[in-house]
Amino acid sequence: MKNILLIGAGRSTQSLVDYLSSHAVDSDWHITICDRDIKLAQKRAGSNERLSAVSLDITNDAERSEAIQKVDLVISMLPAHMHVPVAEDCVRFKKHMVTASYVSDQMNALHDKAVEAGVVLMNEIGVDPGIDHLSAMKVLDEIRSKGGEMTIFESFTGGLVAPESDDNPWGYKFSWNPRNVVLAGAGGAVKFKQEGLYKYIPYHQLFRRTEFIDIPEYGRFEGYANRDSLRYRSVYGLENIPTIYRGTLRRPGFCRAWDVFVKLGMTDDSYELEGVSEMTHRSFLNTFLGYNPNDSVELKLMHYLQIPQDSELMEKLEWLDIFKDTPIGLDKATPAQALQQILEKKWTMKPDDKDMIVMWHKFGYILDGERKMIESHMIAKGENAEATSMAKTVGLPVGIATRFILEGKISTPGVHLPISKEIYLPMLEELAANGIVFHEKEVEYQGY
């Protein structure tokens, strides 16, 4: 029997647990689900005899080491900063590890030790990063195998509300950690390369520098740049490419409205507000506007940001009840935490709501002197507010990677991203068998 330790039982783990459970009998696995919240772990385990639930404090070194020694593979669904101690134990005890998070410098530093120990430490195998790697590398390798020279690579992903559940002017509801949504882009200047020129977008300009993307059957989206696109030049073997750009998708109009919060400073998470317990939505907004006892909050906002009174932007803000004297409902908070509290009152999915993951790639290249372009997209819809596409597209690839490592289909030891043919071909095939399918088509070349 092979033993799997799943650390963390949050929202994105249900599809993962379902996938592992479906193969547990035939593969002779036992899965131990651990979390500080034992009730959450028990909920995930259910009554399946192949699953068990335990309470585990991952910060307790002895407790963590004891749990890892007993298993063959560890799945870490912890916050990103907590993966490294788990990985260090996995290398020490010669256990494989899988995580959906971005690989860190500290994780990369374990590569030689992992090779020596003969263990696979698989990172970035969720949706983004993860499925984006698999789908992009397949097309990139196909183009290069024909002798094509890459000129453009763009990749966008969005976690959105499905059209049938889209009932608000923002075209958005929370399908994953709301805090990450509120703080999106706040980690420093965004970097990318466009038509041979290096481009940098500071946070205060991020949501005004967008581009439109049309996807068959689902219409128009807008994308804003995401993190450091330049790091993917070496990951994807695109060191000399003129254009490389990665971003996040939203429905048109979202970014212009979100920019209001950024410009006002409402997404700042670096300090605590005074008197939060007495604040309403309206007074919170007024906190960031100039003092004028004769003008309303609405007039001050429109004047400060030059917003026309009949603007759709004002309609979006009014729909959020941002101008109402509704108590925020927190005793203390940073501006970002207060904003998140307001948004969760309006953007929380209803029980029967469906979410949607949208992923889109563009590949521009030259082959035999001719400029060519391929577009690839994937749409995945959830079933309801519990069985979300976000949870499926994060958890399912983690489960597939776990299965393939235990079966020996992924066997090269070391710290890895899912970018080699050994990994992406079988994983894309298994994802397609589970309803996650990419559609590729040649289009007219556009760009540099």
Q: Could you tell me if 105 and 8 lie in one domain?
A: yes
Is 12 inside a domain boundary?
Answer: yes
Residue 80 pLDDT level (bands cut at 50, 70, 90): confident
Residue 310 pLDDT level (bands cut at 50, 70, 90): confident
237-265 b/e with 16+ CB inside 10 Å = b? Answer: ebeebbbbbbbbbbbebbbbbbbbbbbbe
Q: Per residue in 46-63, pLDDT tens?
A: 999 999 999 988 899 999
Q: Could you tell me if 31 and 150 lie in one domain?
A: no
Is 62 inside a domain boundary?
Answer: yes
Is 247 inside a domain boundary?
Answer: yes
* Residue 218 structural domain: 131-257+351-392+426-443
Instruction: Round to whole Å and give the CA distance between 334 and 340.
Output: 10
Contacts of 129 (CB under 8 A, 6+ apart): 100, 102, 417
Q: Could you tell me if 182 and 88 lie in one domain?
A: no
Q: Could you tell me if 116 and 46 lie in one domain?
A: yes
Q: Which of 69, 97, 123 is the last residue of a domain?
A: 123
CATH of the domain at 246: 3.30.360.10
Residue 12 pLDDT level (bands cut at 50, 70, 90): confident
CATH of the domain at 31: 3.40.50.720
pLDDT number for residue 445 = 83
> If phi over 0 gives left and psi between -120 and 50 gives alpha, with beta otherwise, what is residue 280?
beta
Q: What is the model's pTM? A: 0.93
Q: Per residue in 315-348, pLDDT tens?
A: 999 999 999 999 999 999 999 999 999 999 999 9
Token pair, residue 284, equals 């919170």
Q: Which of 123, 149, 166 is the last residue of a domain?
A: 123
* Cβ atoms of residues 96 and 381 within 8 Å: no
Is 13 inside a domain boundary?
Answer: yes
pLDDT number for residue 139 = 98
Q: Could you tell me if 144 and 253 lie in one domain?
A: yes
Is 343 inside a domain boundary?
Answer: no
Q: Which of 91, 123, 155 is the last residue of a domain?
A: 123
Dihedral sign computed on CA atoms, order 397, 403, 45, 10? negative
Q: Could you tell me if 83 and 203 lie in one domain?
A: no
Q: Could you tell me if 361 and 234 lie in one domain?
A: yes
